[in-house]
Amino acid sequence: MAQTLTPTPSESPPRGRPFSEAPRAPALRMLRRVLSKETRDDMLTTFGELREEYGPIVAHGAGPFRGVFLFGPDANRFVLLDRRGIFSSRKPWMRIMGGTFPNGLLLWDGEAHKHQRKIMREAFKRPMLRSYTSAMNPMIERGLGRFDASAESGAELKAFDALKELTLEIGASVFMGAELGESTTAVNTAFEGLVAASMPGGIRLPIPGLEYQRGLKGRQFMLKFLGSMLAEKRANESPDAFSQMCHAETPEGERFNDTEVLDHMIFLMMAAHDTTTSSLTSMMYELARHPEWQERARAECRTLGKPYAEFEDAPELEELTWVMKETLRRYPPLPVIPRMALEEFEWEGYVVPAGTMVVVSPIVTHHMPEWWTRPYTFDPLRFSPERAEDARHTHSWIPFGGGVHMCLGIRFAESQIRAIMHQLLLRYRWTVAEGYEMPVQQAPISKPKDGLPIRLERI
């Protein structure tokens, strides 16, 4: 099917109907939805119902709390590519995670964002990605001990917990150049607090017992933990991302200061292990529910003919990549992406005023039957060259966002997922209980509420 490219409705000055006439969800209903646990658990149903009931544009709120949902690939392209430079990523994300990740790459706009991204890109060039993947492979092999113990005993394993521990250890080694050892639990607790505090709608006050206070404590811990290594990383260059960011320099001589290095490292470590853990867990679940695909992926890994999957092996693991992409379609790490309109614009015949919170939704787009065949069915073949459903539109598959704020670590994440899954498939066969359906909490990052209990068999 040829790629669909419809005219962008907002390239000319707005001439449409006033925003007050746009389809609108009742205020109390929206407030309940935003604050409810059900929305955190199932944003696909919540926002999918909004789209079905009201259409591709749904207004809500008023005054400083005015917002709008824009649904579909065209809206994703318009907002994320932001050719007119009228959408801020920093303003909404500062509201959500400004206290815990104040200078993460996602929280910069315009020239400042370009400056930060240009320097950070030095740590993600292909030679570094090859080095990171080669370094993590023996770590993956050593880190599968928890999986081995479960396979030998026959006891259930909480896959999410085991994968989180593994990816945290890998992230610490590859990105920090450190072995966590006895600090593993403390670092894991710090990141759990940081992520939990980033849930939209939470109370942003440093009150003991609240998630936000846990997040602030987690941030202070990580600043102290990473700060204790900073002088050494500045003094001696090494292959890890922490050191690379300390020494990264653009051709123009631009470098990070100490505060920027620490803030980027905290955000990078969160993104590197939490989102990867989310995707790996969902992959294990789908491969347990679809043993024919587990065997198919395993056969491909065996054909590779070696115990480790390196960065360059991606083309040889084509079907495993389809499985990964289909998993990211069904369970994108971020179900919604917010922006703030800096200028008014027209969409679907309505003029949206400046100061409006604009939200697009990867998870809703990924389940639109206009773009995906049987969208609620796990079907990796939709990413095969013969079907290529993701090529129907440039922004119908956006698990890593898009535009200038597209995830900088996308190639690292894909390589890490392939490397870990390759070793898991060669080493184990796994199942879930008959009739089991994974209960998912979709926000702030998609994960199973029960940890995904699986049973492993050593091959």
| pTM exceeding 0.85 | yes
CATH number of the domain residue 333 falls in: 1.10.630.10
Q: Does 11 fall in a domain?
A: no
* CB-based contacts of 252, cutoff 8 Å, min separation 6: none
Domains held by the chain: number: 1
What pLDDT was estimated at residue 13? Answer: 57
**452, two tokens:** 């995904």
What pLDDT was estimated at residue 194? Answer: 86
Q: Does 8 fall in a domain?
A: no
Write 139-144 long-range contacts (CB < 8 A, 24+). 139/169, 139/170, 139/173, 140/166, 140/170, 140/419, 140/420, 140/423, 141/307, 141/308, 141/423, 143/169, 143/170, 144/423, 144/424, 144/427
What pLDDT was estimated at residue 453? Answer: 98
Contact present, 49 and 361 (Cβ < 8 Å): no
Q: Quote the domain boundaries for residue 313.
A: 17-428+438-458
d(C-alpha 197, C-alpha 317), whole Å:
37
Q: Does 411 fall in a domain?
A: yes
If one counts every other C-beta atom within 10 angstroms of the C-beta of residue 235, the result is: 9
What pLDDT was estimated at residue 166? Answer: 93
Q: Does 162 fall in a domain?
A: yes
Q: Does 433 fall in a domain?
A: no
d(C-alpha 372, C-alpha 420), whole Å:
28
Q: Does 247 fall in a domain?
A: yes
- Segment holding 431, helix H or strand E: strand 428-431
Coil vs helix vs strand at 101: coil
Q: Count of H helices and E strands in the chain?
A: 18, 13
What pLDDT was estimated at residue 218? Answer: 92
Mean pLDDT, consecutive 10-residue stretches, the chain (459 aa), reads 46 76 85 67 90 96 85 98 97 89 90 90 90 94 93 96 92 85 86 77 68 89 94 92 87 88 91 89 98 98 98 97 98 94 97 97 98 98 98 97 93 96 98 96 88 97
What pLDDT was estimated at residue 149? Answer: 94
Q: Does 97 fall in a domain?
A: yes
d(C-alpha 88, C-alpha 82), whole Å:
9
Q: Does 12 fall in a domain?
A: no
**79, two tokens:** 């907002």
**201, two tokens:** 């709608």
Backbone phi, psi, residue 249, to 5°: -145, 130
Contact present, 278 and 447 (Cβ < 8 Å): yes
